[in-house]
Amino acid sequence: MSTIVHKYGGTSVADCGRIRAVARRVAACAKAGERIAVVISARSGETDRLIGLAHEFSEEPDARDMDLLVATGEQASVALLSLALRAEGLQTETFLGFQAGFLTDGNHGRARIERIDPDRVRRSLEAGRVAIVAGFQGISPDGRITTIGRGGSDTSAVALAAALKADRCEIFTDVEGIKTADPRICRDARLLKCITYEEMMELADTGAKVLHSRCVELAAKYSVPLVVRSSFDEGCGTWVVPEEGRLEGSVVTGISLTTGEAKVAIRKVPDRLGVTAQIFRQIAKAGIDVDLIIQNVSQDGHADLTFTVPKGELRRAMTLAEQQAREVDAGRVEAAGDIAKVSVVGLGMRGHAGVAHRMFEALAAEGIEIQMIGTSEIKVSIVVDIRAAERAVRVLHDRFGLSGIST
């Protein structure tokens, strides 16, 4: 008898009709003999409604109070799904984060799951009940409700699947699965039957929104097979699996796009040992993530230094860059928010030289200028003008033969 964790997101339980649909799907699996733990999110819109309420009292509400408040969203979903499953004739047992044994650290709003003690959930499954678990939440060492932030309920689901040693974790969402590119940009984007953890993490990190890299990382760490599929139809979705579980793949698996970064350029940085290190040391100290960095060839003992940061950090990054520019006697500092990063990801790159080269050629042929370049073992990212970004995605999608029927 296999044990499976299902996870349903906010749009899948947005209203009573959809909750009933989820209940029917879970009931069908349970009646087919599977042991099912369901991890569930707040109904879509509910978390925003609660955050809105909190902002009536404070612009920067206390993180402990916020956790207590937003945790009611998942709690209500759990109760309603339990009622819907009972109406389908199933026995259920409900679990809030603390009841399901989600022990976190005390970082409210972005707590880390330290440990899961899944005994109560396991006993419930063994007794033939459907276990319904509130995602996104846990309890801190001092007994306070926490929420786990980034990756949210997906991460809860994978963590629970790992703790239960479940056969797989199925993430039900509002799209069919993982595609070779965002189908709103590439209408011929193809559904991937299978993708490796590594590729999925790179895609998630570079703009693919279906899964958060945190949850994929956790799945990889504990070898939990993940399935991403639609809660609205019967499609098989995409399996996210270890590398060995995958047959020979193509060189490039998918293309992602993010417009979440901005570019900062410091002109005429003196070409002295340690200057660049000093600048980035200050930015790192401020907790700002720098992604791509380029420095052009030195002329007259000076070079231009350009880097990207999350758009939300641009103002702080600019202040720091200006400070540093004065200290090291550099020129003026410029910022640009009208950029986009396009990333090409594929495990096959490791064995195939020339992916970057083919990328540059294809974009040049379309007259798209590349502003910055960054690479990892299985990824090439480029920064282009935001106005050319979607066209760049389509050009590369074609160039690497990603469209067409699922293979």
Q: Does 66 bind a copy of itself (CB under 8 A)?
A: yes
Q: Does 79 bind a copy of itself (CB under 8 A)?
A: yes
Structure tokens at 262: 């901005």
Q: Does 193 bind a copy of itself (CB under 8 A)?
A: no
Q: Give residue for tokens 């970057």.
A: 356
Q: In what order do the strands lie in the sheet with 333-336?
A: 293-295, 302-310, 261-270, 333-336
Whichever of 33 and 89 has its CB closer to a copy of itself, that residue is 89
- From 16-24, 149-157, 216-224, 280-288, give the range in contact with a copy of itself by CB under 8 A: 16-24
Whichever of 75 and 258 has its CB closer to a copy of itself, that residue is 75
x/- letters, 326..345, toward a copy of itself (CB under 8 A): --------------------
Q: Does 21 bind a copy of itself (CB under 8 A)?
A: no
**One residue of 45, 48, 65, 406 binding a copy of itself per CB under 8 A:** 65
Residue 393, C-beta contacts closer than 8 angstroms, at least 6 positions apart = 181, 182, 185, 186, 255, 257, 342
217-to-151, 182, 183, 323 alpha-carbon distances in Å = 11, 22, 25, 37
118 vs 281: CA distance, rounded Å: 42
Q: How far is the CB of 148 from a copy of itself (least distance, A)?
A: 17
355 vs 379: CA distance, rounded Å: 9
Whichever of 138 and 177 has its CB closer to a copy of itself, that residue is 138
Q: Does 195 bind a copy of itself (CB under 8 A)?
A: no
Structure tokens at 329: 């006697």
**One residue of 78, 314, 347, 396 binding a copy of itself per CB under 8 A:** 78
Residue among 100, 191, 188, 97 nearest 145 (CA)? 97
Q: Is 134 helix (H, G, I), strand (E, B) or coil?
A: strand
Q: Does 20 bind a copy of itself (CB under 8 A)?
A: yes
Q: How far is the CB of 40 from a copy of itself (least distance, A)?
A: 12
Residue among 316, 320, 312, 319 nearest 337 (CA)? 312
Binding to a copy of itself, residues 129-168 (CB under 8 A): 143-145
3-state helix, strand, coil in the chain (%, to 5): 40, 25, 35
374 vs 343: CA distance, rounded Å: 9
Q: Does 19 bind a copy of itself (CB under 8 A)?
A: yes
- From 57-65, 106-114, 267-275, 389-397, give the range in contact with a copy of itself by CB under 8 A: 57-65
Q: How far is the CB of 84 from a copy of itself (least distance, A)?
A: 5
Structure tokens at 224: 């939990």
For a copy of itself, the binding residues (CB under 8 A) are 16, 19-20, 50, 53-54, 56-58, 61-62, 64-66, 68-69, 71-72, 75-76, 78-80, 82-84, 86-87, 92, 94, 96, 99, 120, 143-145
